[in-house]
Amino acid sequence: MADLLRDMRYALRVLLRSPGFTAVAVLTLALGIGANTAIFSVVNAVLLRPLPYPESNRLVYLGEWSEQVPEMSISMANFNDWRAQNTVFESMVGYQSDNVVLTGRGEPERLRLRRITAGFFPTLRVRPILGRELTPEDDKVGAAPVVLLGEGFWERRFGRDPRIVGQQLVLDQQSFTVIGVLPSRLHGSLRQMDLFTSLWRLEDELGGESNRGSHPGIYAYARMKPGVTVDHARAEMKSIARHLDELYPQSNGDDSVVLQPLLDAIVEDVRPSLLVLMGAVGFVLLVACANIANLLLARGVERHRELAVRIALGAGRWQLVRQVLTESVLLSLAGGMLGLLLAVWITAALVRGTPMGVPRMDEVSADRSVLFFTFCLSIVTGVVFGIFPALEASRADVQETLREGGRTGTAGGGRRRLRDFLVAAEVAVSLVLLVGAGLMAKSLFRVLQADGGINPANVLTARLSLPDAKYNDDAKRRNFVSQLVLKAQSLPGVEAAGYKNPLLGGAQNAYVIEGRPLPPPGRLPSADISRVSPEAMPVMGMRLLSGRYFDDHDNENTQHVCIIDETFAKQNFAAGDVLGKRIYSGGPPPAGQEPDWLTIVGIVAHVKNYGVDQPSRVEMYVPEAQRPAGGGSIVVRSAAATDPAALTTGLREAIRSLDPDIPLYEFRPLEDIVNENTASRRLSVLLIGSFAVLALLLAAVGVYGVMAYMVTQRGHEIGIRMALGASQREILEMVFRQGLRLALTGIAAGLAGAMALTRLMSNLLFHVGALDVPTFATGALALAAIVLLACWLPARRATRVDPIVALRYE
């Protein structure tokens, strides 16, 4: 211990004696460790930290699985059977998400609501901070409507007034009694909920026991009994599902169960990109390490004599290693501390810059494990970059060094090889990052270039929902929508307006084609179906490939029609033989009566509803007028110069004049919605790109350092060569050849590394192969160019060597 203290004191003195070196090293390390800490605090919060519930590793997520829809919601009857028959869960609860409109308390407001079954929060082991839980008595058909508030909503809307319990809230025209408030210590999606109410009270609307084929958006959480593993639970649930398939082949087909740890279910989408980021930022640190190791090696030359003297005085090899390592660890700890400050700042920027939809981003904070990570990382970093110089130092050849006397020797060919190796490694790692960033950037470019099937420019959208209680028949709904569209169309600046439900994507519905044999149950093909007003499709820029758009004649009194997309047409019909064919949508046609056939009147281009880089499904459109439903989005195309604020006000006034209790909400340009799909991709490109640039800079500095050092070291040799007749060009060539050798070694290793590693990110790529030749080639060329650039100054310096001066000193 005393030894260690002495070593540290000495190391501190050595570091303070060369403040320039120390500052550069600490800054480089701070950058590397800071970036790593920042990304780690995101990874920690999102992937590693347990959910904020006691024994949360026993919580699982459940959904239904079928061939066509791998993650389907659970039918109510199946849910009840799963719950009754399983032996692996302590409790199992269901939920469904929805939006409701709060009225009667000033401006109507649309709120996020989750319908839950009784026992939902006890399963998570969360208790209300005020009032009481939802009981089984609240959770059945005919029970008095009750509601629990989220803490955020309670604070925002009621200023944490405890007297709210017992008061009434009017939601979608129905009165609910507030029974309690839940804490905000919930995971992301739950914390954002404003309201919680009973799910089973709506049993009849959800299909109930009798309608096993209906999947009304219910998903489930369960808490496994102590000692039950996820695999065990999954196996049992699958066997229960198989049994139900046998009992109810008509509705269940070959359905099965999806069961995942709850944490996995929440974060699985972001895990690959976060891990790639973590890897990338780790590489940056490696490059930084190599750089500092190089600096230390260069300094080692000067210290060689000191170390040789120490050996001559009897220092053991291990004592020397320890001495030098103490120095490097001290350096990296200083870098780590500065890095931590940097990380706080980077993390804040990251959290601010991250698009919605990355789960748990709001939980990011520097907790104890982040501090621990940074501490360990600093130590490891210090050892990694210190070990080469330390071993080098311990290998000092006493005799030679002392005999060499003052000569700042060209000795230590081993040292030079080591430095060359480190720089080549830096080049290699930077190339891996550069290629990775290049692939991501190219993917992003492809995504932005890709045809999504719609033209979102100058289209404003807003949502509305029609409460069932008031708009309780088709005529009322139809009427409201057509009135609203008419009013919107007459607003100044508006070129056309329409209505679509839902705005993007659709409700998945099984369909049957007239005259074709019926597939076995559960094997019916399905399509995303959406309801549109006649103008909606042209407003959104959907391209008609053949036939016609809907028009005002497609109404409740005329033949029922539909428009399909090109993939639907390709999958089911011969080219040119589509229009006029009839399909039935909504499951197998009812027996014993004429199905409600829809005649195909048009084919449109396929729309990539969930983002051009996401899988999309076969699509189909029906006229809103023939199948009205409760809510949707109004879409308005305006002249480019139109003020969106004025348009928003105009639309608000339009709807208020029709029904003051119905709010329009989520006013958003369609372009923003479409761009949101690429937001996380853009962030990844930005981050990996910055890491690559950082690594590249560090590598360039490293190359520069090594070459400059080489020129200094070999100034004598260069002098000799000039005295022997070397021309400037030949000296330049000599330096560049050396640099190029480094570059080529590094680039070859980097290309090999990139080939091995980019495969790991192939599921983040879009229309770009993980081994995309142009990207690899560009990366390699760019790196070669940068290395040569970094050689330029030292090479020029080499040509300025004055042979007389270089040769004089003896």
Partner 1 sequence: MEPLIQLRNMEKVYEAGGSKFYVLRRVSLEIQPGEFVTFMGPSGAGKSTLLSIIGMLDGSWTGEYYFNGEPVHRLNVKKRNELHKANIGFVFQSYHLIDNLTVFENLEIPLSYKNVPHKERVSLVCDILDRFNIVGKKDLFPNQLSGGQQQLVGVARAVIQSPKLILADEPTGNLHSAQGEEIMELFRKLNEAGTSIIQVTHSERNAAYSHRVIQLKDGWVVSETSNAARVG
Please report, as ranges, the residues that interact with partner 1 according to CB under 8 A.
410-411, 413, 716-717, 719-727, 730, 803-804, 807-808, 810
Q: Give 55 or 730: the residue with its C-beta nearer to partner 1.
A: 730
Q: Give 149 or 806: the residue with its C-beta nearer to partner 1.
A: 806
Shortest reach from residue 740's CB to partner 1, in Å: 18
DSSP letters spanning 99-153: EEEEESSSS-EEEEEEEE-TTHHHHHT---SEE----TTTSSTTPPPEEEEEHHH
Peptide bond into 54 cis (omega under 30): no
DSSP letters spanning 257-320: EEEEEHHHHHHTTTHHHHHHHHHHHHHHHHHHHHHHHHHHHHHHHHHHHHHHHHHHTT--HHHH
How far is 808 from 810, CA to CA, in rounded Å? 6
How far is 495 from 322, CA to CA, in rounded Å? 77
Specify whether the CB–CB gap between 261 and 57 falls below 8 A.
Answer: yes
Shortest reach from residue 291's CB to partner 1, in Å: 25
Q: Write the single-letter amino acid at 549.
A: Y
Tokens (6 digits) for 175: 């009165």
Shortest reach from residue 405's CB to partner 1, in Å: 13
Shortest reach from residue 781's CB to partner 1, in Å: 30
Shortest reach from residue 719's CB to partner 1, in Å: 8
The HSE-up count of residue 783 (CA atoms within 13 Å, CB side) is 39
The HSE-up count of residue 95 (CA atoms within 13 Å, CB side) is 22
515 contact partners, CB below 8 Å, separation of at least 6: none
How far is 635 from 458, CA to CA, in rounded Å? 10
Q: Give 107 or 810: the residue with its C-beta nearer to partner 1.
A: 810
How far is 607 from 619, CA to CA, in rounded Å? 8
Buried/exposed code over 392-418 (b: 16+ C-beta within 10 A; e: otherwise): bbbebeeeebeebeeeeeebbeebbeb
Q: Give 606 or 721: the residue with its C-beta nearer to partner 1.
A: 721
Q: Give 318 or 809: the residue with its C-beta nearer to partner 1.
A: 809
Phi, psi of 765 (to 5 degrees): -90, 155
Q: Give 160 or 417: the residue with its C-beta nearer to partner 1.
A: 417
Shortest reach from residue 397's CB to partner 1, in Å: 12
Shortest reach from residue 791's CB to partner 1, in Å: 19
Q: Give 639 or 723: the residue with its C-beta nearer to partner 1.
A: 723
Q: Give 723 or 752: the residue with its C-beta nearer to partner 1.
A: 723
Task: Give the largest Cα separation in the chain, rounded.
Answer: 111
Shortest reach from residue 319's CB to partner 1, in Å: 29
Shortest reach from residue 713's CB to partner 1, in Å: 10
Q: Give 168 or 410: the residue with its C-beta nearer to partner 1.
A: 410
Shortest reach from residue 686's CB to partner 1, in Å: 45
Q: Give 410 or 763: the residue with its C-beta nearer to partner 1.
A: 410
Q: Helix (H, G, I), strand (E, B), or coil: what is residue 634?
A: strand
How far is 757 from 119, CA to CA, in rounded Å? 46
